[in-house]
Amino acid sequence: MRAGIGFIAPNLAAVVVFLLFPLGFSLYLSFHSWDLFGPMRFAGLGNYRQLLDDPLFYIALRNTAVFTVLALVPTVVISLAVAAALNRKLRGIGLFRTLAFLPLVASTVAMAVVWRFLFTTDDGLVNLMLGWAGVPPIPWLSDPNWALLALSVVTVWKSVPFAAVILLAAMQGVPENLYEAAKIDGAGPWRRFRSITVPLIRGALSFVFVITIINSVQAFDQAYALTDGNGGPETGTYVLGIMLFQNAFRFYEIGYAAALAWVLFALLLVLTLIQLWLSRRDPEEA
């Protein structure tokens, strides 16, 4: 008994110090007003009321919602297509797999900096390639209407490899005899994919949905690198992660930032529970 406690004690201590204590302290901070330098002042629910009255909060919430949709749908669709392609036994598939998983190697900030140069309006590679097709230059990072789309493109590019790995692992667990029986019955590739593959990887798809939503709502590093942490142009990429960072480390409103963090946690919890409930429903009920 004592030996077992001794083995798990370091892990338990790490959980307490690096997880439970920060969570509890941030909740404590959300009910106080503090600028990191002066004494804390109890504010009760003042930070939460201020958050609900802050117009920037609703701008960040709207941008985050739009950004999540723009990132979620392409990530799921493209990762499904990539996983299906990687699941086939073709010549050169090893090289394709290597290229598909390369974005996982680069750090998010380094990748966002590279994309920032690619999205340059005048001589960026993206606009040069669009120019070959006769499309005029697009102000990706200088127009609020395009900046959020550019941020979504970067996020999708970074998210697809991880999602494809999860879906590929699920696809490789589908029994081959099901496909053979479907072929005998005359089902084509699309029918086999829709009627066999997708239903049998439903759990992995649900996981990809949840992880993509969580990563999108918590997005900060790629938005910071693309916009210098300003959420610009104007408020085009002003998402919840940028708002939290600015209030905590630029305005030093630590209690207000902690309240925003807990509202963000509650939002993610609700979205995750809804997605888990939908994934556990009987397909015949949907």
pLDDT value at residue 77: 94
User: For the chain, where are the E strands, in sequence order?
Assistant: 32-33, 41-42
What superfamily does domain 48-281 belong to in CATH? MetI-like (1.10.3720.10)
Q: Which residues pair with 32 in a beta bridge?
A: 42
Crossing angle for the helix pair 108-118 and 144-171, nearest 10 degrees? Answer: 130
pLDDT value at residue 154: 92
pTM value?
A: 0.88
CA dihedral 45, 243, 250, 222 (to 10 degrees): 150
Rounded to 5 degrees, what are φ and ψ at 90? -130, 160
Rounded to 5 degrees, what are φ and ψ at 85? -70, -40
pLDDT value at residue 188: 85
pLDDT value at residue 276: 81
* Residue-level pLDDT, tens digit, the chain, 286 residues: 777 788 888 888 998 888 899 999 999 999 999 988 889 999 999 999 999 999 999 999 999 999 999 999 999 999 999 888 888 776 666 677 777 777 777 788 888 888 988 998 888 889 999 889 888 899 998 898 899 999 999 999 989 988 998 998 899 888 888 888 888 888 888 888 888 888 889 889 999 999 999 999 989 988 888 887 788 888 889 999 999 999 999 999 999 999 999 999 999 999 888 888 877 765 555 4
Domain boundaries, the chain: 48-281
pLDDT value at residue 75: 95
